[in-house]
Amino acid sequence: MSKLSHIDDHNRPTMVDVSNKDVTAREATARSTVRLPAEVRSAIDGDEIQSKKGPVFATAIIAGVMAAKKTHELIPFCHPLGLEKCDVTISLDGDNAVVECRCRVHHKTGVEMEALTGASVAALTIYDMCKALSHDIVISETRLVAKSGGKSEYRHEP
């Protein structure tokens, strides 16, 4: 059975010791899917939704980047990282808004949690800004799409 990385020899939660790891280029991409009901889709003009609170997707992009930068404040034992790059994009695919967050850093630990947090908060922001139109908005999936750097690589094959 594999040992969980955030549990010490006495089964207590702990931060992973990365002091002996090498600094490498790390990158991760995460995706959240937001199903938009007809009431919300009808408010889409081009590639944006204008709401009383402002431009929905533009605001969600800003929120996603801000969240990725603060991941260590939200997730216990997450190392604080000075992100070198964080891109949040939102595209429309049928009834869905697809949020992708890609983070990059040179560090001793990966950026999966930053990418997942950025995608999640951007999706939550879409919900928050559109809930006046419908409460039937569904954030259906948040997942790691790819990661590189460090000792393991990952790429989701759909």
**Are the CB atoms for 54 and 149 separated by under 8 Å?**
no
**Bridge partners of 88?**
101
Helix runs in the chain, H state only? 38-41, 56-69, 71-74, 112-130
Q: Given phi > 0 = left and psi -120 to 50 = alpha, else beta, which region is 46? A: left
Of 9, 45, 128, 136, the catalytic one is: 128
- Is the separation of the CB atoms in 47 and 152 below 8 Å? no
Tokens of 88: 């949040």
CA distances from 150 to 21, 56, 108, 142, 154 (A): 9, 35, 8, 22, 11
Q: Are 119 and 125 contacting, i.e. CB atoms less than 8 angstroms apart?
A: no
Residue 136 annotated in active site = no
The single residue listed with the structure tokens 């630990």 is 109
Residues marked as catalytic? 128
